[in-house]
Chain A
C-alpha cells in the first residue's frame, strides 16, 4: 500500500470528474484524443439541479433521451468537497413502470371536500401543480385508485409545498377509508418545512428532499399494498380545513422510490453509461463515492441488486454490486466461467458513501476484498485466474441492475490501496 499518485489513476468517472476536468470520464492524459464515455437511455430522466439561490428557484429538470442527468443530491445540498466543489453526479436508474394514471392531472382524481386550482408553479419550472383547498370539515381529500399495484411493499413519491398557513397534510395508501390503511402518513409543516410520521399502517419513511421554491419531495413506501388500492392527498388534517400545493404523484411496484416520472414517461428506461477499459488485467483498487441511495434505508428485499460497476463478459468479469436481500456491498469476481466469489460488508450510515474494492492476482488466482469505512474484509479465497483481456467495456453504475443512485466518483487505480489512500485523491 502506498500513496496514490496522479499517474496511478487509470480511469475516473462521475461528478467529481465532471467538475474537475469538464467531462464525465477521464483517463490518462487527455491532451488530444479525449477519452469518451457512451451514454444511452430511451426516455427522459427527471433530476434535481444545483441549488444556487437559497431555494427560491425550482430545481427540477429534465434530461432528454440519451442525455445524462447530472443530479445534485438533496442529502449533500449546500456542501462542498475538499476542492470547494459541490456534490453532483450522473443519476443512474433502471427502467421502471410508474403506476399512477394521472401523476400530474389531479383534475382527474376524485375530490371530496377539496377545491382544486390548476396552473400553479411546479418544481420543474412549469405550471402543472395544483392548489388543493380543503374547504369544509369532514373527510377532505383527493384520491385515485392504482390498478397496477401488485401485492407487496410499494413506493410512493409526491411533491408538496406548504401554503403559508399550512400546519399538516396527509398522504395515505389504503384500500378504502375506514378499511385497511397500508400506510397513512402525517406531513407536519414547520415554517414550510415538512416532517413525516406514521398515523396508521406501516412502511418506511425515506424522508423529504428540498426541491427549491419551497417544494419538497415526500418519499415513503407502504406495506401490504394490493391491486387497486387508493392513493390519497389530504390538504390538511383528516377532518380539518387548510391548503397545500401538490404535484407529481408517483407509485411503483418496488419498495423504494426512484426519480420522478411525468405523464408519458411511465414506461421509464434504464440509464446505460459505459467507458472503454483497455488496461488489461492487473492489481486494481476501485473507489466509488456516491450519494446515499434511497434503497440503502430499506431493510427488506428490494428485488434488484444495484450495481456500481461491471467489467468483462458474462463468463469472465469482476464487479462491485450490492445485494437484493440485505444492504451489503460486494466485490465480486467470476473468472472464466468459474464460480463467483465475493467479499461483502454492510453499508454504513452517512449521506456520502465511500466504497472501496481491491482486486488482486487476476492472472494467477483472483481474489478481492471490500471496505466501506469499517475496515477491510478478508480477501476472498483464490479463484481461477482470469484470462488476460483488453478492449473491454466498463459498465458504470450497473452490474446485473442499475445503481438507482447518484454516482459522485468512480476511480480505478493501479495497485492495491487502502480506503484512506484512495480518499486522499482530491
Chain B
C-alpha cells in the first residue's frame, strides 16, 4: 500500500525537525515572529479559528510560529505525537496536571525530584485541591503498595535532580498501565539525546527547556510532550479530555483530535486560560541551542565522568552520587537506560557537613555559584542552603539534598580546569 517512510537520525532531526525555509521569503533560519496577534481573512475564518475547526494563528498566548517550530522539534526528538511549549518547566508541570486532574484528585510522585517540584506539588497544588502522595520510586514494591484507586497519574524524574538516581522507568510504566493511568516523566536532566522515555512506557514528558535543551543559560522555557499512545477513555478517569467541553461548544478533545487531543486541551484551555506563554525570542534561542544538543551532551557526560572520578578519589569527599561510576547502585540501570551517559548533574558529599558545603560553593573561582543546571558553564550549588532550604532537614535527606551535599552541573569548559577549580575549593 505504501513504501516505508524515510527515517532520519537524531542529529539530523535536532537541526531540521519542525523548521522548513519560510514559505514567503525563503529565509533558511527560523524567523523570530515577534508578534502578539494575526489577521483574520474574514469573520468566518475567525470563527473557524476560535472554534478550533481550522488550523492557524490567533494570538501568541496560544500559538506562535517560532514557538511552534520548537514544539515540533522537541516532540520529534522525543518520538512523540505533539508538543506544547510554555514559559518554564514549572508551568509545564502545572499545565500537564491541569489537563489530567480535577479538584480533589490525587497522584503519586517519586520523592526524588527537583526541590522546587516537591514544593509545587506538595504545597501549591494542594491549594487547587490536587493532592500528591510521595513514594520512594527506587523501590518498585513501595510504588505498588502506595498506588491507590484514586491516583490518576504517576510522576517521576527518571534521572533525578539533584543527582545520581536512576529509576526503572519501564517497570514503573507497567505499574501505571496496569491500572490504566499515565506515567508522566520529567526528562529535563537527560534530554532526549541520552534517554527517550516514550521508548520505555512513558505517556507524557515534561521539560524545563531552560536547561540542556537551550543549553546556554539564556532563556527560560518549558515543554509538555505527549506520546499519542495513551487511551484516555479506557479508565473513565479523564473526563476533562473525553467529555464535551462547555468552553468549546461541546467539543470533546479526545474524539476530535485523537492522538494529539491531550496537547490540544493543554494548549487551548490550560495555556489559553492561565497564560504562561513562551516568548518567541526564547523559543528562537532554544531552537538554536537544540541544533548542537548531541554534540554538547556527549561532552557534558564525558566531562562529568572525569570530574566524578576525580571527586571519588579526593580525600575531602565522603561520597559521590553519579550513576556513571561503578560504585553507584544505579550503574546497571544507567547502562540499560542511558548508555551514552547518565547526564552531567550529580551530587557529592563533603566531609564537615553544612559548613564544608558552604565553603566549596564560596571557594570556587571558575565554576559559577547559582541555581540552575544545564549551562555551557559549570555550575555549583549547596542545595541545603538554597534550592532545598524550604524543606525540613528530614525532607532534604529524603530527596538527596542533606546538609553535606554539593550539586554540580558539569559544563563544557576544559575538564582539567574544572577539576583544578574543585581541587582548590576543596583544599
Q: Do A and B come from one complex?
A: no
Give the interface of B toward A (CB within 8 A): none
Give the interface of A toward B (CB within 8 A): none
